[in-house]
């Protein structure tokens, strides 16, 4: 476990440290966002539906995860 003295130090370590995700990290990387305690929308949906979280960006969705995402997009669609 890594401890940070402040948010700025945490961001610097994330920007220059080794990313744990095969995607290479970045603004939309779920691993980077979790490391920075940033909100990951799919995490909320999966936890609401008692589904496991993906460990990285390259892990494929399960059928149940896809169904949860599909239900959200059709339920809340503005079209």
Using H for helix, E for strand and C for coil, what is the string for 25-64? Answer: CCCCCHHHHHHCCCCCHHHHHHHHCCCCCCCCCCCCCCHH
Q: Which residue has the higher pLDDT, 9 or 31?
A: 31
What is the structure's pLDDT at 17?
A: 61
What is the structure's pLDDT at 78?
A: 47
Q: Which residue has the higher pLDDT, 27 or 8?
A: 27
Q: What tokens were used for 23? A: 């995607």
CA–CA separation, 28 vs 34, rounded Å? 11
pLDDT at 36 over 50: yes
Q: pTM higher than 0.75 for the full model?
A: no
Q: What band does 75 get if pLDDT is binned at 50, 70 and 90? A: confident
């Amino acid at each position: 476990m890594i401890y940070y003295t402040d948010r700025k130090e945490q961001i610097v370590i994330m920007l220059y440290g080794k990313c744990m995700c095969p995607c290479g990290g970045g603004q939309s990387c779920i691993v980077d966002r979790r490391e920075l305690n940033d909100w990951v929308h799919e995490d909320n949906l999966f936890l609401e539906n008692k589904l496991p979280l993906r460990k990285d960006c390259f892990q494929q969705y399960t059928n149940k995860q896809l169904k949860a995402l599909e239900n959200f997009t059709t339920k809340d669609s503005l079209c």
